[in-house]
């Protein structure tokens, strides 16, 4: 098992995994067009794989991506009296069904946790599903006060 950052050559697999993830958990999307989604997802992946704002961590087994976690760095406005570091927003955490409950997702998350520490990331935030809460807790994450939201109409 290799844990590494995604590359352009991974776009097809990452697109298919995002599709599978959505179809597994959101039945309301069953009628969506894969072709339309593929175009949008490829455009997104092509731009973010080359920048330093997004980091897509993957677990690869025999050249097949079996797990991934997307990290978006959010730069903070500097504050007097301290060095300001970015925080990380974690999203799109997914392991293919055949590889679940084997510790692979935890290995990817541990890699990210080390990377965050080494790169002075102030904190990592994730909004877990109810079933994912224990996964994060066993990997050192803790509940925090819920943020406020605004949904423009």
Q: Does residue 144 belong to any structural domain of this protein?
A: no
Tell me the two tokens of residue 149.
Answer: 């939201």
Q: What is the pLDDT of residue 4?
A: 96
- Please tell me whether residue 97 adopts helix, strand or coil conformation: helix
- Domain span at residue 13 reads 2-137
Q: Does residue 116 belong to any structural domain of this protein?
A: yes
Is residue 24 very low, low, confident or very high in pLDDT (cuts 50, 70, 90)?
Answer: confident
Quick one: which of 60, 114, 50 has its CA closest to 88?
A: 114
98 to each of 12, 61, 65, 93, 130, how far by Cα in Å? 19, 12, 12, 15, 21
Q: Does residue 102 belong to any structural domain of this protein?
A: yes
CATH code, domain carrying 99: 3.40.630.30
Q: Are strands 124-125 and 54-61 parallel, antiparallel or unpaired?
A: unpaired
Helices 11-25, 34-49: crossing angle, 10 deg rounding: 130
Number of domains comprising the chain: 1
Q: Does residue 111 belong to any structural domain of this protein?
A: yes
Q: Does residue 148 belong to any structural domain of this protein?
A: no
pLDDT digits (tens, 9 = 90+) for 59-92: 999 999 999 999 999 999 998 998 899 999 999 9
Return the half-sphere exposure (C-beta side, CA atoms, 13 A cut-off) of residue 19: 19
């Amino acid at each position: 098992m290799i844990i590494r950052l995604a590359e352009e050559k991974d776009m097809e697999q990452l697109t298919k995994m995002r599709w599978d993830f959505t179809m597994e958990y959101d039945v309301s999307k069953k009628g969506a067009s894969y072709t339309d989604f593929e175009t949008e997802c490829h455009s997104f992946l092509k731009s973010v794989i080359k920048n330093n704002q997004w980091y897509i961590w993957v677990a690869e087994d025999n050249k097949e991506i079996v797990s991934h976690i997307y990290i978006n760095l959010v730069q903070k406005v500097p504050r007097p009296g301290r060095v300001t570091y970015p925080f990380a927003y974690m999203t799109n955490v997914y392991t293919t069904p055949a590889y679940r409950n084997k510790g692979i997702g935890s290995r990817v998350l541990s890699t990210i946790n080390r990377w965050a520490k080494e790169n002075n990331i102030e904190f990592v935030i994730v909004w877990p599903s109810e079933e994912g809460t224990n996964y994060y807790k066993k990997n050192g994450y803790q509940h925090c006060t819920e943020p406020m939201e605004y949904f423009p109409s």
